[in-house]
Amino acid sequence: MSCFISLCLSIWVVLMMPGRTSALNDNIDVMVLLPDNNTYLFSYQRVFPAIEFARKTLNGSELFGGLKFNVRYENSGCGGDALFALVDKQKEERPDLVLGPVCEYAAAPVMRVASHWNIPVISAGALATGFREKNSEFSHLTRIAPTYLKMAETFLAIFKDFTWRTAYLIYEDDKEERNCFFTMEGVFTVLSEYHIVTDLAVLNSHEERVDTDGIISSTYGSEVVIMCAKADKIRELMLAFHRRKLTSDSHIFFNIELFNSSSYGDGSWRRGDKFDNEAKAAYSFLNTVTLLRSTKPEFEVFSMEMKKSQQESGIPVCEDCSAVNMFMEGFHDALLLYAFALRDVMSNGLTKKDGRQITHSMWNRTFEGIAGQVSLDANGDRNGDFSIVRMTDPDAGTHETIMNFGTNGTFKPMPGFKREWFSLRTAPEPPPPKHIESSSGGLGVSAVTGLIVGGILGTALLMAFYFFRKNYRITIERRTPREECDIGKHRQLREDSIRSNFSAA
Ligand SMILES: *[C@@H]1O[C@H](CO)[C@@H](O)[C@H](O)[C@H]1NC(C)=O
Ligand SMILES: *[C@@H]1O[C@H](CO)[C@@H](O)[C@H](O)[C@H]1NC(C)=O
Ligand SMILES: *[C@@H]1O[C@H](CO)[C@@H](O)[C@H](O)[C@H]1NC(C)=O
Ligand SMILES: *[C@@H]1O[C@H](CO)[C@@H](O)[C@H](O)[C@H]1NC(C)=O
Ligand SMILES: *[C@@H]1O[C@H](CO)[C@@H](O)[C@H](O)[C@H]1NC(C)=O
């Protein structure tokens, strides 16, 4: 009798709560869109072992052991190939889940098509501000790495705390992937929402030389300088700022380097040339904004395995630094997140084909990722934590994390932090008159061309930002003719490329 009751009971349990008691059983078709080129930190060879690791973890768990992930990889490049790969796949059967792409211009069309096909997409990239529009074309996108907008909120918090009012943004633009453009777009968006006056300068990636004189003369008047560029260009700029005595008292310097931890920190000023000592002194005024890296004991196993896989695929890994980057962590956690969401959706009687419900089940969720807690906001974007790293010992040149930021707008000073590093002792001065004279072989001519080309430049920049924000506030000052010329030349290209990827509203 009691045996009969317990049988009834277990049948009842199975019937009433299928998702809670029975393990999931399904084949999940996963399409991974990443570039097949190890110059990218998110190349397939680097990220694939992380996805495999997650797959093994799920396979070994009681609840998810029945899920079979058929992972298929396509080379997305960083441009249009990603879309073609996805569309070609349509000839067979559409995937149940898309992981990637990372590059903005590869991601945009893929996200649109996947959203249209009701397929969930999770990416550790697509960090640009435009992707936050989840009401229409990016409706099925979940971003598992902290976006540029979240990063920019850390700037806002610190601007508010130290009551800074003006910022000068310097970014490098390669006219292709445009990482620094999108990074600064986030900063610009957030700061201008709070009426912080921003001005900006663009460095052309394809040019070796940086017009430091031109940049310096337009930096006067801004309290805070925020830069995003390759390590060598940051060094050149910092050397120039230091020589012109802008580093002490009147300006605060930030450099944004979210992903490549080998390009900042101890020794990042060193090139083995005669400027090393000067560079070290200049770098003692530089603050680098990066992702907060948290680790837990389980992470070690993951880290060791990633190192091994990379060595096997011939990717150089340095001995003492981390072989794991944010993209590996992100795509690992993406598979877990999908499995959690799928379980919840299936327990409500839906299937893996209910892409919209699975996507929404991933949002507004906090779970334990490989490196620590991962929390997604109600719009499906990861809440991020960031750190500021600075040289704390100018003699030894060693760096430390001096502040950590939570996305909730609070920041926590670390033991090495000194408030005076962020105190402006003198108001930014106007540029010294001597400089204006020295740069004017023919003042009349350059003033006129400055006006005309300045107008073109202004239009180009405004157009560029127009597609992302309609309410902007921007001041444009003098720029060098060479830079202006370049921007004028690329104006057409820039507008076209933006229009095709992030169409105007
Ligand atoms: C990888 O990308 C870099 C930079 O875009 C390029 O120079 C290189 O030729 C590429 N390598 C391969 C094998 O395609
Ligand atoms: C999943 O686990 C089963 C046994 O638990 C094992 O036979 C199988 O090889 C595993 N699959 C993968 C992809 O690890
Ligand atoms: C990371 O930074 C180092 C040092 O600046 C540089 O050599 C390397 O090419 C960078 N890696 C990537 C993928 O950008
Ligand atoms: C997010 O989840 C919390 C509880 O976990 C809930 O109270 C809140 O209403 C949710 N927010 C949205 C926008 O769904
Ligand atoms: C913000 O986040 C920090 C660190 O994650 C936490 O200690 C703090 O309590 C949070 N503050 C609020 C107001 O949620």
Which domains occur in the chain, in start order?
25-147+295-375 (3.40.50.2300), 149-292+386-422 (3.40.50.2300), 440-497 (no CATH)
Span 320-327, mean pLDDT?
82
Instruction: Give the DSSP H or E segment for 272.
Output: none
Does ligand 5 have an atom closer than 6 angstroms to the CB of 248? Answer: no
Considering the entire predicted model, what is its pTM? 0.82
Angle between helical axes of 44-60 and 326-346 (0-180°, round to 10) = 40
Name the closest ligand to CA 62.
Answer: 2
Report whether pLDDT(279) > 90: yes
Report whether pLDDT(50) > 80: yes
Residue-level pLDDT at 362: 98
What are 197's strand-pairing partners? Answer: 166
In whole numbers, what is the pLDDT of the chain averaged over residues? 82
Residue-level pLDDT at 92: 74
Nearest CA to ligand 4 atom 6: 364
Which of 233, 257, 263 has the most ligand 3 atoms within 8 A of CB, as the residue to mutate?
A: 263
Percent of the chain with pLDDT over 90: 63
Report whether pLDDT(253) > 60: yes
Q: What is the DSSP string of 85-136?
A: HHHHHTTS---SEEE---SHHHHHHHHHHHHHTT--EEES---SGGGG-TTT
Which of 135, 364, 381 has the most ligand 4 atoms within 8 A of CB, as the residue to mutate?
A: 364
Report whether pLDDT(434) > 90: no
Does ligand 3 have an atom closer than 6 angstroms to the CB of 315? Answer: no
Residue-level pLDDT at 89: 77
Residue-level pLDDT at 407: 67
Q: In this structure, what token pair is assigned to residue 395?
A: 């003699």
How far does the centroid of ligand 2 lie from the alpha carbon of residue 30, in Å?
17
Report whether pLDDT(295) > 70: yes
Nearest CA to ligand 1 atom 5: 39
Measured in whole angstroms, the distance separating CA 156 from the mean position of its chain's CA atoms is 17
Report whether pLDDT(180) > 90: yes
How far does the centroid of ligand 1 lie from the alpha carbon of residue 37, in Å?
6
CB distance 255 to 227 below 8 Å: yes
Residue-level pLDDT at 449: 33
Span 243-272, mean pLDDT?
91
Name the closest ligand to CA 79.
Answer: 1
Query: CA 31, 34, 40: angle at the middle one, nearest 5?
Result: 165
CA-37 nearest atom, ligand 1: 1
Cβ contacts of residue 430 below 8 Å, gap of 6+? 220, 221
What are 75's strand-pairing partners? Answer: 34
How far does the centroid of ligand 1 lie from the alpha carbon of residue 35, in Å?
10
Span 301-316, mean pLDDT?
91
Residue-level pLDDT at 184: 96
Burial 60-91 (b: 16+ CB within 10 A, else e): eeebbeebebebebbebbbbebbbebbeebee
Q: From CA 197, how far away is CA 237, in angstroms rounded?
A: 22
Residue-level pLDDT at 248: 81
Residue-level pLDDT at 453: 36
